[in-house]
Amino acid sequence: MMDQEHIASAYDRDLDRVQSLIMRMGGMVETAISDAARALEMRDTELADQVRANDKLIDALEEQIASEVARVIAVRSPTAGDLRTVLSVLKISGNLERMGDYAKNLGKRTSVLSEMPAISGSGGALRRMTQLVNVMLKDALDAYIQRDVELAEDVRQRDADVDQMYNALFREFLTHMMEDPRNITACMHLHFIAKNVERMGDHVTSICEQVIYLVDGELPEDDRLKQDRTSYDISVSKV
């Protein structure tokens, strides 16, 4: 990236501003994810409600970023690295907004799950999976602000671990449901939670791809190894 400053210093301030909004939004999403995971594990419905309420702030920030970006495009006609910066800001804010939605959904399901008997063993696995995604998000945002392609690529590869954890949970919930039909409602909710966390990982991956695009000017060509095999899982049809 360009270390050099623009002749028009207000242009630098504009670009710094939209990027600092992204970092703020990223921080809010990190908090939402860890709070939602903690609320689920501790059956803390108050915290879950707070996560749901805070999602409005994340959404508002996305709108603010979109309008700031529109203004920069209209006024500055950004090119080259500057253009890629504003385009990546727009895409990353979209990814963060979706992640916020998934955290909010986790909060909603927590309220329902707290009324039901706990499913043994699922709490720890979901917590580990959510933590993994949150560390990935933190690293992706660091990679973004430091323009660190290597770190972005590393995070991108870590999504395979999230996929594998989701596969394992998928089978575990299936087993619980087959064992006792009374577990079905809770396991369905838990399965959606696991799936949503897995989707969060995909959004982090997309943020990493934006970092690579921002620095190299091209999206990575290679397809990542996809570890979520549940769509093809034969055991589903056996049930």
Partner 1 sequence: MSKDIKISAKGVDVFYGDTHAIKNVDIEIENKAVTAFIGPSGCGKSTFLRCINRMNDTIDICRVTGDILLEGQDIYAKSVDPVQLRARVGMVFQKPNPFPKSIYDNVAYGPTIHGLAKSKAELDEIVEQSLRRAAIWDEVKDRLHQPGTGLSGGQQQRLCIGRAIATAPEVLLMDEPCSALDPIATAQVEELIDDLRQNYTVVIVTHSMQQAARVSQKTAFFHLGHVVEYGDTNKIFTNPEDSRTESYITGRIG
197-236: b (≥16 Cβ within 10 Å) or e: bbbbbbbbbbbbbbbbbbbeeeeeeeeeeeebebeeeeee
Between 84 and 156, whose beta carbon lies closer to partner 1?
Answer: 84
Q: Does position 84 bind partner 1 by CB under 8 A?
A: yes
Q: Does position 231 bind partner 1 by CB under 8 A?
A: no
Judged by CB under 8 A, which of 41, 50, 81, 185 binds partner 1? 81
Q: Does position 221 bind partner 1 by CB under 8 A?
A: no
**Choices 4-12, 116-124, 153-161, 174-182 (CB under 8 A): range interacting with partner 1:** 4-12
Between 62 and 82, whose beta carbon lies closer to partner 1?
Answer: 82
Between 80 and 225, whose beta carbon lies closer to partner 1?
Answer: 80
CB 62 to partner 1: min, Å = 25
**Choices 41-49, 79-87, 144-152, 169-177 (CB under 8 A): range interacting with partner 1:** 79-87
Distances (CA, A) of 217 to 18, 72, 83: 19, 20, 10
Q: Does position 217 bind partner 1 by CB under 8 A?
A: yes
Judged by CB under 8 A, which of 78, 100, 107, 201 binds partner 1? 78
Judged by CB under 8 A, which of 46, 74, 79, 234 binds partner 1? 79
Between 60 and 75, whose beta carbon lies closer to partner 1?
Answer: 75
d(CA 162, CA 188) in angstroms, rounded, equals: 19
Residues lying near partner 1 in the complex (CB under 8 A) = 2, 4-8, 11, 77-84, 217-218
